[in-house]
């Protein structure tokens, strides 16, 4: 299969070669993580948070979550053989439609039926097509990308989706990383993801609430201190025994301390200092600095 572009078609039909351009805009959410079954739930939670922020009706949001789950599961089951690999997901609003992309760096689509024990690849794609308003797929030696669109209320006429694999370097496949463009959705998305990570670490209800407050504080305060000046909040989540670390940045020099101060509330002090088990400022490999916030179960 080639790496050339393809466009989507309306739900219920199969993609055909591209005839005109029409790619989605800049994503509100970028998510990279290891292509593992357990990580599909993190993508679902991120989408649930974004859908809540956009005011999507529950039934419509359920369709979106089923579709992105199928796309991610296809990548987990079919993309990599006997080795780990990254899963890349973007979510953004373009032309009054929510556009989701799921990308892997595997060997591309295999002929049906599935050669393994998982579900056949075509079943998931057919389900995605039936649930979405538009759907497209492209694949080749650099991997496979599935792009899905859902019309939001009063959607304007939009160009067809263009699905084309980029040849940019693959992200690390050993970390969970989020990039959240500035906006009200950032807290909703990060809060959902962090809450699930905290639940996986067996946090108590009180400690899970602390983790939620920390994520809200970071989502609200980190963007202005981003080193690239974009206002985008970038966070890696490192899970470990007894908890996890949130690594925020890269930030401008001195940005970590200013971020911590920006989480101060009258009478409560700095939320990050109060609720995190440790805060460390370390140099970022690409320049600037990172803020590492450690959260543990606190037996």
What's the pLDDT score for residue 17?
29
Joined together, the tokens standing for residue 101 give: 């992309």
Place of tokens 């789950």: 69
What's the pLDDT score for residue 19?
26
Q: What is the pTM of this model?
A: 0.85
229 falls within a domain: yes
The answer on 153 and 17 residing in a single domain is: yes
What DSSP element (H or E) covers 179?
Answer: strand 176-180
The answer on 38 and 123 residing in a single domain is: yes
132 falls within a domain: yes
Q: Regarding predicted confidence, which is higher, 93 or 117?
A: 93
What's the pLDDT score for residue 15?
38
Boundary residue ending a domain (113, 132, 163): 163
Boundary residue ending a domain (163, 195, 222): 163
Query: DSSP code of 170?
Result: P
Q: Is the pLDDT score of 228 beyond 90?
A: yes
The answer on 146 and 237 residing in a single domain is: no
Residue 127, burial from CB neighbour count under 10 angstroms (0-12, 13-18, 19+): middle
pLDDT digits (tens, 9 = 90+) for 75-87: 898 888 878 899 9
169 falls within a domain: no
Q: Is the pLDDT score of 2 beyond 60?
A: no
Pairing of strands 97-104, 6-7: unpaired
Tally of domains in the chain: 2
Joined together, the tokens standing for residue 62 give: 């359920």
Looking at residue 30, which CATH number applies to its domain? 3.30.565.10
Place of tokens 């959410």: 29
The answer on 99 and 23 residing in a single domain is: yes
- Does residue 113 have a cis peptide bond before it, meaning omega lies within 30 degrees of 0? yes
Q: How far apart are CA 260 and CA 266, in angstroms?
A: 14
What's the pLDDT score for residue 66?
96
Domain boundaries, position 69: 6-163
The answer to whether 270 and 228 are in contact (CB under 8 A) is no
What's the pLDDT score for residue 109?
58
Sheet strand arrangement including 9-10: 9-10, 134-140, 143-151, 97-104, 86-94, 29-34, 176-180, 233-240, 243-251, 289-296, 278-283
pLDDT digits (tens, 9 = 90+) for 111-153: 444 445 555 546 678 899 899 999 999 887 778 999 999 998 7
What DSSP element (H or E) covers 46?
Answer: helix 37-54
The answer on 142 and 25 residing in a single domain is: yes
The answer on 190 and 132 residing in a single domain is: no
170 falls within a domain: no
Percent of the chain at pLDDT exceeding 70: 84
The answer on 117 and 180 residing in a single domain is: no
The answer on 229 and 149 residing in a single domain is: no
Q: How far apart are CA 74 and CA 58, in angstroms?
A: 24
Q: What are phi and psi of 69, to 5 degrees?
A: -65, -45
263 falls within a domain: yes
Q: How many residues can be counted in the chain? A: 299
171 falls within a domain: no
The answer on 25 and 159 residing in a single domain is: yes
The answer on 142 and 12 residing in a single domain is: yes
The answer on 183 and 155 residing in a single domain is: no
The answer on 134 and 60 residing in a single domain is: yes
């Amino acid at each position: 299969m080639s790496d050339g572009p393809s466009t989507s078609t309306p739900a219920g039909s199969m993609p055909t070669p591209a005839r005109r351009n029409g790619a989605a805009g800049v994503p509100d959410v970028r998510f990279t993580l290891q292509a593992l079954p357990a990580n599909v739930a993190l993508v679902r939670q991120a989408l649930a948070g974004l859908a809540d922020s956009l005011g999507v009706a529950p039934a419509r949001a359920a369709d979106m979550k089923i579709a992105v789950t199928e796309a991610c599961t296809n990548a987990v089951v079919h993309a990599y053989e006997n080795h780990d690999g990254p899963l890349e997901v973007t979510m953004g609003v373009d032309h009054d439609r929510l556009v989701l992309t799921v990308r892997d760096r595997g060997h591309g689509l295999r002929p049906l039926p599935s050669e393994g024990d998982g579900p056949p690849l075509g079943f998931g794609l057919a389900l995605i097509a039936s649930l979405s308003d538009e759907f497209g797929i492209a694949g080749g030696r650099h991997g496979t990308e599935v792009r899905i669109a859902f019309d939001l209320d009063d959607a304007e006429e939009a160009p067809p989706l263009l699905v084309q694999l980029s040849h940019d370097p693959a992200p690390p496949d050993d970390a969970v990383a989020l990039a959240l463009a500035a906006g009200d959705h950032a807290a909703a998305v990060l809060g959902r993801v962090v809450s699930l990570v905290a639940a996986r670490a067996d946090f108590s209800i009180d400690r899970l609430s602390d983790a939620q407050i920390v994520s809200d504080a970071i989502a609200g305060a980190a963007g202005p201190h981003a080193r690239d000046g974009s206002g985008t909040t970038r966070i890696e989540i490192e899970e470990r025994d007894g908890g996890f670390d949130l690594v925020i940045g890269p930030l401008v020099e001195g940005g970590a301390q200013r971020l911590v101060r920006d989480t101060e509330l009258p009478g409560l002090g700095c939320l990050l200092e109060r609720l995190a088990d440790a805060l460390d400022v370390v140099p970022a490999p690409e320049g600037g600095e990172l803020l590492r916030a450690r959260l543990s179960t606190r037996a």
